[in-house]
Homo-oligomer: A and B are copies of this chain.
Amino acid sequence: MTPQLATLLVACQDRKGLVASLAQVLYGHGANILDSDQHTDPVAGMFFQRLRFDLSSLTTDRVSLEHGIKEVGERFAMSWTLSYVSRMPRIAVFTSKQEHCLYDLMIRHRAGELRCEVACIISNHADAAPIAAHFGVPFHHVPVTAETKETAEAAAHEIIEAAKVDLIVLARYMQILSSAFVAKYPSRIINIHHSFLPAFVGANPYKQAYEKGVKLIGATSHYVTADLDQGPIIEQTTIRVSHRDSVEDLVRKGRDLEKRALAQAVRWHLEDRILVYAGKTVVFD
């Protein structure tokens, strides 16, 4: 039995009475608040809140509740989203030849860590087909070359729309998506970059790290924007390395970082824990 829970995410200019008004509207409809996390950014003058509540005790109904929230939202010029736990979000995983992040997501999904349906796996190589089959997920091979990029993205877009996908996860997808494609999914594409951004943007970050002689390497998950490797950072992880580590060792150690940073970001997104503003994220973890 799916629990009757919902999550309300709110962002707006800070004003007095915001917390009280939101609590009041939920209480007024009989919703029981289970978790409430709030943040005020004094520099930006912004207010953010995440409210998770139980609907089983509603004294009105969902339509009426949504109407009430809408009314408060308008009063304070809030941007807000309301998600019902009963509705499973759907994700598409993009991958290339490196399979560790794909495997990691699938195994976590299977273990119940990621509350979603994996709608499809899309790759520019056929290698991941047996993995998709093993986990019972539809696989789409969409090859990409410099010449066919536009067509390939159109094909991917069609697959995603047909599969009613809510979130795109780039699990070491080695292609750069066009600005036009990215613009279709604002704050709905999560990428994993294999360095602690903003250090080592661009290609071969592990080689860059080796040559620089750093003593720790990192991985960064972020929302994808038109600016390569510059989107809002969601999670970062690091691990110690030493002079003993070759580039190959950095790659191996980095795989662990990438898996964790990406899975964490996907989980937070699926649980409506992330708000984006001013090129940064608020993560209610």
Interface residues of A (CB under 8 A from B): 16-20, 23-24, 26-27, 30, 32-43, 49, 57, 99-100, 103-104, 107, 110-111, 113, 130, 134, 196-200, 212-216, 218, 220, 232-238, 242-244, 246, 252, 255-256, 260, 278-283, 285
Pair B40/A243 contact, Cβ less than 8 Å: no
Pair B111/A107 contact, Cβ less than 8 Å: no
20 additional contacts (CB under 8 A) given A20-B24, A212-B280, A238-B238: A19-B26, A19-B36, A20-B27, A23-B23, A33-B38, A34-B40, A99-B107, A104-B107, A111-B255, A130-B134, A196-B196, A196-B199, A196-B218, A215-B236, A216-B236, A216-B237, A216-B238, A243-B280, A243-B281, A256-B260
In the assembled complex, 23 residue pairs joining A and B whose CB atoms fall closer than 8 Å, in A order, are: A16-B32, A16-B57, A20-B23, A23-B23, A35-B39, A35-B40, A36-B37, A36-B49, A37-B37, A39-B243, A103-B103, A111-B252, A196-B238, A198-B214, A199-B199, A213-B278, A213-B281, A214-B236, A215-B220, A215-B236, A238-B238, A242-B283, A243-B282
